[in-house]
Amino acid sequence: MRKNIVAGNWKMNKNLTESQALITEIRGIVRDENTNKAEIIICPTYLALASASKLLDGSTVKLGAQNCHFEDNGAFTGELSASMLKSVGVSHVIVGHSERRQYFNETNEMLAKKASAAINQGLTVLFCVGETQSERESGDHFNVIKNQISEGLFHLTPKDMELIVIAYEPVWAIGTGLTASSDQAEEVHAYIRSLISEKFGETIADHTSILYGGSVKPDNAVELFSRTNIDGGLIGGAALKARDFFDIIKAIK
Ligand code: PEP
């Protein structure tokens, strides 16, 4: 069956010293209290990845990056490739976060290439999709999600799909304190699974973890994670406090 996963997206937060302190704290709590019910991933800034990899040596906590370029190397000032991430011990990478789509103009076409580049390096992709508030209000959210999934992922092979985790993150719920109700989230998660099933078949759809992201906190995680098609969460703000992050992990039953 598919895995339960809780991933923390630290965004552009924490300098090196602060990152090391938070990683050490998370590592300690996971070692002492781990429930083993979920795979745990943390995604600090690029700055902290190499040192995070050393700090996580021997821990069950996995290391993710927040982005990668689709080329392997070359004249792309300021960018990092999937192979570079792999070389410092990264196993996961977020692709298509709404902030990258919105502020860095990342298109479905670019994200499709990024997903392939990461998979070619054996990295697991946390592929983000989600509608804006106006898209939801106009009832267009299913279409938006369908385009993001089909243009971003449908070029992949069934084998590639083993390295895909999908995160449904309604843009209106990210960092706003507004969470999708568990009914709203479950409805979209079930829809995403049906899209994967139509394209790749029921077995692959059944094995694909689909995470919810958008203002997940310890007090709403239990309800969200109890739903059939919600296999964990991608956590922003609450992942910056070790205790809150772990309390969210514990909401996986
Ligand atoms: C995110 O950025 O992926 C996210 C879900 O953020 P937050 O939990 O803060 O809404």
pLDDT along the chain (253 residues), means of 10: 95 98 97 89 98 97 98 98 98 98 97 98 98 95 98 98 98 90 97 98 98 96 97 98 97 94
**CA separation (Å) from 2 to 30, 96, 203, 231, 232?**
21, 22, 10, 8, 11
Please indicate, yes or no, whether the overall pTM of this predicted structure exceeds 0.75: yes
Beta bridge partners of 81: 69
The total number of structural domains that make up the chain: 1
Ligand 1 atom closest to Cα of residue 174? 10
| d(CA 31, ligand 1 centre) in Å | 25
8 lines ligand 1 (CB under 6 A): no
In single-letter form, the type of residue at position 89 comes to G
| d(CA 9, ligand 1 centre) in Å | 7
Sheet strands (E) in the chain: 5-9, 39-43, 62-65, 92-95, 124-129, 164-168, 210-213, 232-235
216 lines ligand 1 (CB under 6 A): yes
pLDDT at 35: 74
214 lines ligand 1 (CB under 6 A): yes
Which protein residue has the closest C-alpha to ligand 1 atom 4? Answer: 236
Exposure of 76 by Cβ count < 10 A (0-12 exposed, 13-18 middle, 19+ buried)? exposed
Q: How far apart are CA 252 and CA 94, in angstroms?
A: 21
Q: Domain holding 222: CATH number?
A: 3.20.20.70
Active-site hit among 97, 99, 135, 141? 97
Q: How far apart are CA 145 and CA 91, in angstroms?
A: 26
Taking a C-beta distance cutoff of 8 angstroms, is the pair 156, 116 a contact? yes
174 lines ligand 1 (CB under 6 A): yes
CA 12 to the chain's CA centroid: 15
| d(CA 238, ligand 1 centre) in Å | 8
Pairing state between β 62-65 and 164-168: unpaired
Q: What is the residue range of 23's domain? A: 5-250
Beta bridge partners of 8: 42, 235
